[in-house]
Structure 1
Amino acid sequence: MARRALILLEGSRYNGPLYVQAALQLGLHPIVLSADPAQYDYLGAEGIEAIRGDTADLDALIRECSRLRATYDIAGITSVGDSFYARVGKLCRHFDLPGPNPTSIEQCCDKFKQRHLLAEAGVPIPAYRLAADATEVESFAAEIGLPVILKPAVGAGSRGVRLCRSFDELAEHTTYLLGGEHIWQSPPSILVEEFAQGPSYWADTMGDQIIGIGTADFGPLPHFVGREWTVPAPLTDNEHRRIADVSLSCLRALGLDWGPTGIEFRWTKRGPVVIEVNPRLHGSPTPQLVHLAYGIDLVTEHIKLVIGDEWDLHRRYSHTAAARFLVPDGDGTLDWISGDSRAAAIPGVAEVKFYVEAKTPIVRKGDLRDLIGYVIAASPSRAQTEAILQRAVDLIDWSITPFSTPGEQERTAAP
């Protein structure tokens, strides 16, 4: 009998290892198709089969999957991120496997189309405009009113997202986005958005079910770099209901009735306002937080859906889980980072992870790439979890030697 395989289109350093481990625990043989498998260190560490190929070419992917079917029973095809998820949907349709609607995914990944569909459905969102050049950016910002947020119409991980509080800042960031420094995945187009002010929340859904609602805390503006995530969010019954209702409205408006979705909000004077809808699970460590808080392994349940098995989304308990991100306060060369083993030994600490090693160049981008690690803690109460987390984080330290010249920083900056 042919071995059952799970095809993973590309990977990531965040959710990628979670999907590989979950696949192995389900008795599946994970195979990663990637344009550059070497970029995913965990594949080598786990001895995972990886095949190099053009993952942007649907026909090439069909040929590769057809070739693999001669050796394996392909149980399912999926991806850990949204940039390849529409292609996953097309592959699943070609091979008659369970999968997402590719049209819905493509519409959702284009932030302008997403905003348009949400607005048509009456979902509360910030005021927005789509700009193609600096003149339009300035005009639309004046129309909406400063401060505004500028962001690429297509992208993830808060790359290129910035709050602009003056026209000078607006011009500076527009130049950054259009001047060749930002890497575009599609023809350049910029969203100019009203700054929705208020506490941040997020919801994870699977199909049409609300799995959990968490709260997010960010570092200093003008960027949006995560500091701490907590599940569940401290909400009243009415607040929870309103966020849940808006979440389900998003799914209906965008046709996202299959698989995982992550939705981000700000609670404003109008109540919950949708900042972004992502047709995928939120990135690690959010799946771990949901697992620790409720006993629901979202990655495993997603894979079950992908391979046509019965899933189980019922809560087994209700704890509070939180993750504190480790963020450097300067650029330079990381001399050392330590304290992970001591922090991990504290009762209630579930995981300590470093993304970096000694001698790594640190060049902050103002987005997800600034994070150098995290600590996760969980307990039956919010206060206890926060105390455990703080005690663990206090044991972690690092040293960064500033770059000696600006040129050194430019040479070591990662794309």
Structure 2
Amino acid sequence: MARRALILIEGVSDFAVTGALYVQAAQRLGLYPITLSTDPARYDYLAGEGVEAIRVDTDNLDALIRECSRLRETYDISGITGANESTYATVGKLCRHFDLPGPNPASIERCCDKFAQRQLLAEADVPIPAYRVAANATDIKSSAAEIGLPVILKPAVGSGSSGVRLCRNVDELAEHTAYLLGGKHVWQSSPRILVEEFAQGPFYSADIMGNEVIGIEAADFDRPPHFVFRQLSFPAPLTDDDHERIVEVSLSCLRALNLGWGPTNVELRWTKRGPVVIEVNPRLAGGPNPKLVQLAYGIDLITEHIKLVIGDEWNLCKRHSQTAVARTLVPGRDGTLDWIGGDLQAAAIPGVVEVKLYVGPHTPIVRKGDCRDSIGYVIAASPDLAQTKAILQQAVDLIGWSITPFPTPGEQEQSAAPCLASRTDGKSGLRKR
């Protein structure tokens, strides 16, 4: 009998964690994971997990069909999926070609185009920020004037907050316009920029599988003007009424965008108008989010997604109920990482579930203003939110690092000045620099 295989189209870089979790979940289900990627070397976890990876142009549907057809001569291909938003519509097309369960590719393509998404949500009267689409500096300037500062500038296609910035005044608007249109930003499609009203208020994220809202997460961000997650708490501390309002708005997004197969993540802000939809992502949330859901509710979203992909029955019932909180570690300056430590001490604290560092000494740190800025995370869990946050803070206080700034032309390399508020923990003696 041929070995059952799960085909993964592209992966997710290590800083996003999710890619390795898909591989591990597939293996636990008795599947042989095979990753098809334009550049498999991008994903460090493939070598670490001993995963077969095949180089193929994942932007070429015909090439993917040929490769999957070749693999079917050896394996029983039980399913095709991926965790990478940019190739998820292609996943849907492959599933349809091979008569396998999968997402609607047309719905995914519309959802991944943030302008098209905005139009469909607006037509369905889903609450969203005021927005305009622009292709040049003149359009951006006039759109910002119509909406009123502050505004958000973001590429119409993209993920991980890449190229997204809060512009609080005309100088910041001009600066980010020049960045987006001046050749520094890597565009996934023709340059189109969304100019959006800055919806101010607490940030929430709804995790959905099929047509069921599994739970709602609360989050806050690191320093503006970028949107790098600082802390994630699951489940969010909400009243029953507020929870229900977010659920209703999230499900209205599915109807408006013709989604409802597999995972969806809806990002919202609670404003004076109530919940306002910032973005709908036709995939699981990245980073440590799936782990938080599993710790809090005992639901492994990645495993349940794979079950759906291979045609098995999934189980979204809660096994238990507690709180889980993650803190991302974000450096405050660019430079060379001299040292980083305290992770072993932090991991030993009761209630700390995981401490993950992505970097080691001598790593160049170049912040992008997006999810790639994270150099690690800490996760804690307990039955009580306040207790979980206290455990997490105790662990984070034990982790420190030092960064030496890159030398400027004509200058000798100097000792690092503090990049965060310099502090020495009384127990560990570690200093963040």
TM-score, normalised to structure 1, is 0.97
| Residue 159 (1) aligns with residue 162 (2) | yes
Q: Name which of 131, 140, 143 aligns with 2:143.
A: 140
Per the alignment, residue 217 of structure 1 pairs with 220
Per the alignment, residue 83 of structure 2 pairs with 80
SS at match of 1:384: helix
SS at match of 1:138: helix
- What is the alpha-carbon distance in structure 2 between the residues aligned to residue 307 and residue 343 of structure 1? 39
Amino acid at match of 2:372: R
Per the alignment, residue 272 of structure 1 pairs with 275
Amino acid at match of 2:265: G
Between the aligned residues of both structures, percent identity stands at: 75
Amino acid at match of 2:72: R
Per the alignment, residue 412 of structure 1 pairs with none
Per the alignment, residue 51 of structure 1 pairs with 54
Q: Cα distance, 1:405 vs. partner?
A: 1.7
- What is the alpha-carbon distance in structure 1 between the residues aligned to residue 30 and residue 410 of structure 2? 50
Per the alignment, residue 345 of structure 2 pairs with 342
Amino acid at match of 2:49: E
Q: Name which of 63, 87, 97 aligns with 2:100.
A: 97
Per the alignment, residue 8 of structure 2 pairs with 8
Q: Name which of 362, 365, 377 aligns with 1:362.
A: 365
Per the alignment, residue 249 of structure 1 pairs with 252
- What is the alpha-carbon distance in structure 2 between the residues aligned to residue 278 and residue 222 of structure 1? 22
Q: Cα distance, 1:390 vs. partner?
A: 0.6
Q: Cα distance, 1:39 vs. partner?
A: 1.1
Q: Name which of 15, 18, 23 aligns with 1:20.
A: 23
- What is the alpha-carbon distance in structure 2 between the residues aligned to residue 369 and residue 112 of structure 1? 24
Q: Cα distance, 1:100 vs. partner?
A: 0.1
**406 and 74 in structure 1: CA distance in 2 versus 1, 3 angstrom threshold:** farther
- What is the alpha-carbon distance in structure 1 between the residues aligned to residue 51 and residue 154 of structure 2? 36
Q: Cα distance, 1:406 vs. partner?
A: 6.3
- Pairing of 1:13-412 with structure 2 (within 5 A): 13=14, 14=16, 15-405=18-408
Residue by residue over 1:338-363, the C-alpha shift from the partner in whole angstroms, topping out at 9 and shown as x without a partner, is 11111111111111111111111001
SS at match of 1:377: strand
Structure 1 stretches of 4+ moved >3 Å: none
- What is the alpha-carbon distance in structure 2 between the residues aligned to residue 406 and residue 389 of structure 1? 41
- What is the alpha-carbon distance in structure 1 between the residues aligned to residue 127 and residue 223 of structure 2? 25
Residue by residue over 1:342-388, the C-alpha shift from the partner in whole angstroms, topping out at 9 and shown as x without a partner, is 11111111111111111110011111111000000000000110011
How big is the alpha-carbon RMSD for the aligned residues of Structure 1 and Structure 2?
Answer: 1.0
Residue by residue over 1:104-162, the C-alpha shift from the partner in whole angstroms, topping out at 9 and shown as x without a partner, is 00000000000000000010000000001000000010000111000000000101101
Unaligned runs of 5+ in 1: 409-415
- What is the alpha-carbon distance in structure 2 between the residues aligned to residue 346 and residue 68 of structure 1? 46
Q: Cα distance, 1:407 vs. partner?
A: 10
SS at match of 2:86: coil
**374 and 308 in structure 1: CA distance in 2 versus 1, 3 angstrom threshold:** same
**336 and 248 in structure 1: CA distance in 2 versus 1, 3 angstrom threshold:** same
Amino acid at match of 2:348: A
- What is the alpha-carbon distance in structure 2 between the residues aligned to residue 189 and residue 45 of structure 1? 38
Unaligned runs of 5+ in 2: 412-433
- What is the alpha-carbon distance in structure 2 between the residues aligned to residue 157 and residue 75 of structure 1? 29
Q: Cα distance, 1:284 vs. partner?
A: 2.2
Q: Cα distance, 1:95 vs. partner?
A: 0.1
Per the alignment, residue 425 of structure 2 pairs with none
- What is the alpha-carbon distance in structure 2 between the residues aligned to residue 165 and residue 341 of structure 1? 40
Per the alignment, residue 411 of structure 1 pairs with none
